[in-house]
Structure 1
Amino acid sequence: MTIRVLAAGDHFVQNRLLIDALKREVPGEVDVSELTLPWPVQPFGRVGEVDEASDVEEELIEALRGVEVCVTQMAPLTKRVLDASPDLRLFCVSRGGPVNANLEAAAQAGVAVTYAPGRNAVATAEHTLAMLLAATRRIPQTHADLAGGVWRGDYYMYDNVGPELEGSTAGLVGYGAIGRRVARMLEGFGANVLAYDPYVDVPGRGVGLGELLERSRFVSLHARATPETTGMIGAAEIAAMPEGSILVNCARGALLDYDALCDALDSGHLFGAAMDVFPEEPIPQGSRLLTTPNLVMTPHLAGASKETAMKAASIVAADVARYVRGEPLAHLATP
């Protein structure tokens, strides 16, 4: 029996990666059609009632006619799409969380939604370390000066240099797949690592959030954005950090009060900060983030590696194979 699958890839998790993974993993004949989404050339956003999706409802509805399974990264599974796609039974999101899928409406429609946890854990952990070091050693600023023909000796002045990781305390807010990898990397630098995560066991280094902030010269955020974690690091939490600390966020913009961050950098309370995620993406013109000193920024690409894209395709293809064989799905998001 042939199963009809739509590969709705983009310019990162490409259709060729999804199709190759389906051919490797899925038994029997697979009839694959393709739809290429514009991300990241065009930023994702809110589509209907879902977040972080490509605005392609019309194209997706047309492409899903007669399709039983969809594998994608950014396609919007809205109620409108579900209502127009009666043959759809499985929607596989090749991301760490299926924020672009209306899970309640999918469950009501009898559509299973899966996702790809851990796909970008290595890439994001490595990027976190790169951002932390870049902020601590002023790498972007000094590079920009040299590229502009300016040699500034004042960067070597005592008050202008940052701390070393070795012998310092680093605190991780969130201790999932990414946080655990960052902890191992930091320990390799000789740092003492603390972690706060009320949802998982943190053997040997678990502390409360207040203690973590007060003791840590470096703080890195790795929590998911939920109603409980939204705004969890605000002015009071940043003020609790030691003078001259470094704050890194490669998780979600909603975790942090960015006005409070800018205030702490302007005042010098924070030595530096590094951000890969923001409250509004792209960053709007006129934002304080574009003029605040000692802030290193990248455009939400911590998880961007070739391995991430390949792992994402393999994880969702494996769940398609389980579906075809009638086995329980490994990464089911819907009830």
Structure 2
Amino acid sequence: MTTILAAGDHFVRSSLFTDRLRPVAPDAAFRELTLPWPVEPFGAVAEVHEASGTEAQLIEALDGVDICVTQMAPLTERILGASPGLRLFCVGRGGPVNANLAAATRHGVVVTFAPGRNAAATAEHTVALMLAAARRVPAAHQDLTAGVWRGDYYRYDSVGPELEGSTVGIVGHGAVGSRVARIVRGFGARVLVADPYADAADLAPADRVDLPELMRRSSFVTVHARATPKTEGLLSRELIGLMPPGGVLVNCARGSLLDYDAVCDALDEGRLFGAAFDVFPEEPLPAGSRLRRTPNVVMTPHLAGAGKQTAHNASALVAGEVARFLAGRAPAHCANPEVLRTRS
């Protein structure tokens, strides 16, 4: 009998996994484990990043388990060495950053992931932050709750850009960026895209530009690139300095992608109108962060993907991978495909 561990958390619950899995694995035995995220922040666990739970906790839970489905559980060298029966580790998030892929391959464990599971939620959150920063929504709300009527926000020098008629520059045109493009076009915005990997069929030639041109021409810039060693610091001080006066910069991707000090300088000097961030170089945001005292910054605590449908999408994508695995078919999204050649 196949034994499946559903290592959920307080967002993608274990019950969501098991409810999706029972129809595709009716003869399996199920176990459930609840990890502490997001009640407790994720972090590094041994050699993997952005994980929740401990190695000891997972080693105990994986005893006799063939398949583990999770969002945040760590998969480390130590865990793999203590779990000889494990064959499949399904991560219900856009990238398996909580899994040691090299070690999993050595141990013959297939690792899958769930790209696009939070694309709609992140795109919607991105546009919400654009509007909140351009229209001073958080600051105006705080003033009103404090009993202050800020009619002076209506002064010409105090108002921000509107989406209709503006150019929105999208850095990265994948599952999230392409949705943002579709939404802001509905507002009447012109879209420019900088992404060397974007599907040419999805874009008019005039909409594809290099990154410096995008920065020069865009009143709104939003970042949706993947965090890799090549994209670290992608939006440098020099590139941020190319944005038109009064622009708005948004990042709902990863904190490593841009120079936050350069953004703070541009805001302090009045070159940018506003900025909005859901991700940061260090999370949680440190008490002494400069972002806390820079004007016209809107911030949320890495919540862009926090929609109910995202949780259901994650469990559905994971269940699909388990169904394919049990049927002897290749996974749709395998993070270590070399292990498939070893197993075949």
CA distance in 2, matches of 1:22, 1:133: 39
Offset of 1:143 from its aligned partner? 0.3
1:133 aligns with 2:135: no
CA distance in 1, matches of 2:90, 2:135: 41
CA distance in 2, matches of 1:267, 1:332: 47
Offset of 1:200 from its aligned partner? 2.3
CA distance in 1, matches of 2:253, 2:168: 16
Match of 1:263 in 2: 265
Q: Given residue 140 of structure 2, which amino acid in structure 1 is its aligned partner?
A: T
CA distance in 2, matches of 1:252, 1:281: 11
Give the SS at the match of 2:176: helix
CA distance in 2, matches of 1:27, 1:320: 8
Superposed, 1:24-173 pairs within 5 Å as 24=23, 26-173=24-171
Question: Would the aligned equivalents of 1:37 and 1:56 in 2 still touch at CA under 8 Å?
Answer: no
Offset of 1:55 from its aligned partner? 3.7
Match of 2:342 in 1: none
Q: Given residue 86 of structure 2, which amino acid in structure 1 is its aligned partner?
A: L
Offset of 1:47 from its aligned partner? 1.1
Question: Would the aligned equivalents of 1:253 and 1:279 in 2 still touch at CA under 8 Å?
Answer: yes
CA displacement, residues 159-214 of structure 1 (integer Å, 9 cap, x when unaligned): 00011111111100000011111001010000000001112224211110011000
Offset of 1:113 from its aligned partner? 0.2
Question: Would the aligned equivalents of 1:77 and 1:102 in 2 still touch at CA under 8 Å?
Answer: yes
Q: Given residue 14 of structure 2, which amino acid in structure 1 is its aligned partner?
A: N
CA distance in 2, matches of 1:32, 1:237: 51
Question: Would the aligned equivalents of 1:219 and 1:248 in 2 still touch at CA under 8 Å?
Answer: yes
CA distance in 2, matches of 1:28, 1:147: 54
CA distance in 2, matches of 1:268, 1:135: 14
CA displacement, residues 79-105 of structure 1 (integer Å, 9 cap, x when unaligned): 111111111010000001101101111
Match of 1:197 in 2: 195
Give the SS at the match of 1:42: coil
Offset of 1:227 from its aligned partner? 0.8
TM-score by length of 1: 0.98
CA distance in 1, matches of 2:264, 2:96: 31
CA distance in 2, matches of 1:280, 1:28: 43
Give the SS at the match of 1:35: strand
Match of 1:304 in 2: 306
CA distance in 1, matches of 2:28, 2:146: 55
Superposed, 1:223-262 pairs within 5 Å as 223-262=225-264
TM-score by length of 2: 0.96
Match of 1:23 in 2: 22
| Farther-moved stretch of structure 1 (254-263 vs 304-313) | 254-263
Give the SS at the match of 1:23: helix
Q: Any runs of at least 4 consecutive aligned residues in structure 1 with deviations exceeding 4 A, and if so which?
A: none
Offset of 1:142 from its aligned partner? 0.1
Structure 2 unaligned residues grouped into runs of 5+:
338-344
Q: Given residue 135 of structure 2, which amino acid in structure 1 is its aligned partner?
A: R
Offset of 1:300 from its aligned partner? 0.2
Match of 2:210 in 1: 208
Q: How many residues align?
A: 333
Question: Would the aligned equivalents of 1:178 and 1:222 in 2 still touch at CA under 8 Å?
Answer: yes
CA displacement, residues 12-35 of structure 1 (integer Å, 9 cap, x when unaligned): 0001100101013x2431111111
| Farther-moved stretch of structure 1 (49-58 vs 132-141) | 49-58
Q: Given residue 230 of structure 1, which amino acid in structure 2 is its aligned partner?
A: E
CA distance in 2, matches of 1:328, 1:304: 30
Match of 2:328 in 1: 326
Q: Given residue 269 of structure 2, which amino acid in structure 1 is its aligned partner?
A: S
Change (3 A) 1:27 1:54: closer
Give the SS at the match of 1:240: coil
